[in-house]
Structure formats: C-alpha cells, structure tokens
C-alpha cells in the first residue's frame, strides 16, 4: 500500500494541488486574534461565569442533588445534607472566606470589562469596625461585589488592616454549593445575628457593606435616574450604635447604567405583583435585559460595559449605645444622609453625571 505522504501525494492532479495551495494561503492570510481580542474574550467570559453563578448555581445544584436521591449516587446527596445541617450556623458566624478566591485572576478580567474602579476619600482605622452603606442597588450590585468581595480593585491596599464583608439575602445561604461559593468570597447574610457577630465577636478592622436599598430599590433602577430607598431604612444605624461601628457612605457611579429595565409605574398591577413577591421572598422579580454574547448591540442577560466608580466617603463617628432611643437613631440617620449627599454632590461631575443631577431619597 503506497504511503499517502510519499510519491503518490505528488501525483495529485494540478487542480487539486492548486486548491490545497490556495487553502493554505487563505489560512496564513487570515487575521489571527490580537492580544486586545483575547483580553476582550476573557473579560466577557469572566462576566458570563459570574452572572451564571449568581443566577443559576444554587438552583441547578439543588436540582442535581434532588435527582441524585433517586439514583445509585444518593449517598452524595445524603452526605451533603448532613454537611449543611452540621454547618448551618457558619454563614452567621463570619463565614468561611478563602483569600485565594478573592485573588482569583478572573476577577481582574471582570474588573476590566466595565471597568470598575474604587476611589478612597478618607482613611479607615483598623482599630474600629464599620458599616459601609452601599448605594445604589442596581440590578446585580456589580460595584459592591467587585470592590468589597474581590481584591481586583485594591481595597486591601487602600485600606490596610480592614477586612471587607458584603451582606446578601439569607435565603441564598440555604442553597447547596451556592452557599459555599458565597462564603468563600466573604459574603454573609443580611441578618442582625450575622452582622452583630462581625461587629462584636470578630475583633476590630471589620467593614460590613450593606446595600441599604435592597430589592425595593432595584425596582426603580434605570439609567439616568438615581433614586434611593433610605428614609425609612434605619436598622443599620441602630446596629451601628449598638456596636459602636462607624457609618461609612459609599456610592457606585454608573451602577444603574449596566442594564435596561422595564419599570412598571406605581399603582399598576405588575408593580403590585413585584412588591408582593418582594415582601414574601425577599427579592423582586425585575424585567431587565443587557447585552448578548455576540455584540454590545445584541440583547441578552449580560451587563453593558459601562464604567462603574465606587467612591468610599468619610466615616460618621458613632458612639456605642446598647439601647439607643429613636431620637438618637434619627439623629445619626440624618447625619449619614447628609454625608451621603455630600459625597454624591462632590463627585457626580467627575464620574459621568451633570451638575444638575440630583440624588432622590425616598
């Protein structure tokens, strides 16, 4: 049998040889991906994995474990259920953060996709604990996650000796696998017990970031409009007083520009459904869209690549009062709002807003 790489290959018809040569020339002349293209793809993939993790990881893991119960692999589900029961209180006792996950290189690509930037205006002393108010909520809290959970924007270098934590819905820590993912990054439940533990039993130098507006604020998220749900949100101030934690305002400029949302007017039946769902489940079902995988012009569930700049403001010094009166809580709540408004007005023109833009607080 003649070898296909021997003289027989040289006996190809002239037309075939010409076709092969043309194909090779076309291949060699094709544009290879540049470093910029590779970076863009890595950035897109990093954001894709983050969105899918937050939207699907918990639900898919739960479905897989339920399915395994009815197969020969049922011991996996049984062992994991036993682990969750044993580990039930860990999220409310500081969690189980992994520094290596916070330094994961993928977060640098995640940061550069938008890009996300952290701006420091004042020092935070490691001898105190802090509650950082994170505003606005947006759709997926990109600024808060990138700055307080990943190390990609240099929080540790800007605020040496400060350990940042970010709070999220307690129900997220009941979902298998997803709970481990959240705790490894430094997230904890937004409950009095969890926040109280970090502020009283975990030493000093802790900064607990709370997205004050929560799910209710996400319903009003839209580009060009900055509305915060804050006037009646005073629980974080009471906790700060009970533990002597300083209050620190922060604002993520550009957060509301990452998605487009179908906003239903107050009083409409769809808005009522959203509000009822939010009260029952703790989160609001938003109808939103972003860009697709193929291009910025296509529609999908990924955030648009818009700059997000998180500015951390001046701490409001708070005394420790175990049982603060309503008047005291109101006083420090007003001090916090004034500090937040000052932070917004001093920085809005630097990061994409005009002098006439105002911060609406409801």
Q: What is the pLDDT of residues 142-191, one digit of tens each?
A: 999 999 999 999 999 999 999 999 999 898 999 999 999 999 999 999 99
Q: What is the pLDDT of residues 249-284, one digit of tens each?
A: 999 999 999 998 776 666 676 667 766 766 666 566
Distance CA 248, CA 246 (A): 6
- State the pLDDT confidence band at 7, using cuts at 50, 70 and 90: very low
- Start-to-end CA distance of the chain, whole Å, equals 85
Distance CA 147, CA 230 (A): 22
Bridge partner list, 210: 133
Query: What's the pLDDT at 110?
Result: 97
Average pLDDT, rounded, for the chain:
88
Bridge partner list, 318: none
Q: What is the DSSP string of 279-341?
A: HHHSS----EEEE-SS-SSSEESBPP---EEEEE---B-----SS--HHHHHHHHHHHHHHHH
DSSP 57: I
- Tell me: pLDDT of 9 over 50: no
Distance CA 59, CA 308 (A): 29
Token code pair at residue 25: 């020339």
List b or e across 237-252, with b for residues whose CB sees 16 or more CB atoms inside 10 angstroms.
Answer: bbbbbbbbbbbbbbbb
- Lowest mean pLDDT across 1-5, 217-221, 253-257: 1-5
- Tell me: pLDDT of 230 over 50: yes
Q: What is the pLDDT of residues 116-139, one digit of tens each?
A: 999 999 999 999 999 999 999 988
């Amino acid at each position: 049998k003649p070898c296909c790489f021997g003289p027989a290959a040289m006996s190809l018809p002239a037309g075939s040889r010409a076709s092969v040569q043309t194909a090779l020339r076309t291949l060699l002349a094709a544009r290879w991906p540049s470093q910029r293209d590779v970076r863009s793809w890595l950035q897109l993939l990093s954001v894709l994995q983050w969105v899918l993790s937050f939207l699907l990881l918990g639900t898919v893991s739960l479905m897989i474990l339920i399915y395994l119960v009815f197969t020969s692999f049922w011991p996996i589900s049984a062992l994991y259920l036993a682990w969750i029961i044993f580990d039930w209180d860990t999220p409310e006792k500081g969690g189980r953060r992994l520094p290596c996950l916070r330094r994961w290189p993928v977060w640098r690509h995640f940061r550069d996709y938008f890009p996300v930037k952290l701006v420091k205006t004042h020092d935070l002393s490691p001898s105190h604990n802090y509650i950082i108010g994170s505003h606005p909520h947006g759709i997926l809290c990109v600024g808060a996650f990138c700055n307080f959970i990943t190390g990609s924007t240099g929080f540790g270098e800007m605020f040496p000796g400060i350990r940042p934590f970010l709070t999220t819905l307690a129900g997220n820590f009941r979902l298998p696998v997803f709970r481990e993912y959240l705790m490894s990054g430094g997230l904890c439940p937004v409950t009095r017990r969890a926040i109280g533990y970090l502020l009283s039993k975990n030493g000093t130098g802790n900064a607990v970031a709370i997205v004050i507006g929560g799910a209710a604020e996400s319903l009003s998220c839209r580009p060009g409009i900055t509305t915060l749900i804050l006037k009646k949100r005073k629980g974080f101030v009471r906790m700060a007083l009970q533990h002597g934690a300083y209050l620190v305002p922060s604002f993520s400029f550009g957060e509301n520009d990452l998605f487009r949302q179908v906003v239903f007017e107050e009083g409409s039946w769809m808005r009522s459904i959203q509000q009822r769902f939010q009260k029952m489940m703790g989160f609001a079902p938003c109808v939103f869209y972003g860009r697709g995988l193929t291009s910025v012009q296509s529609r999908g569930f990924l955030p648009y690549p818009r700059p997000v700049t998180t500015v951390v403001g001046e701490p409001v010094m708070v005394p420790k009062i175990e049982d603060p009166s309503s008047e005291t809580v109101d006083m420090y709540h007003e001090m916090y709002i004034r500090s937040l408004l000052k932070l917004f007005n001093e920085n809005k023109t630097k990061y994409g807003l005009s002098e006439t833009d105002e911060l609406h607080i409801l």
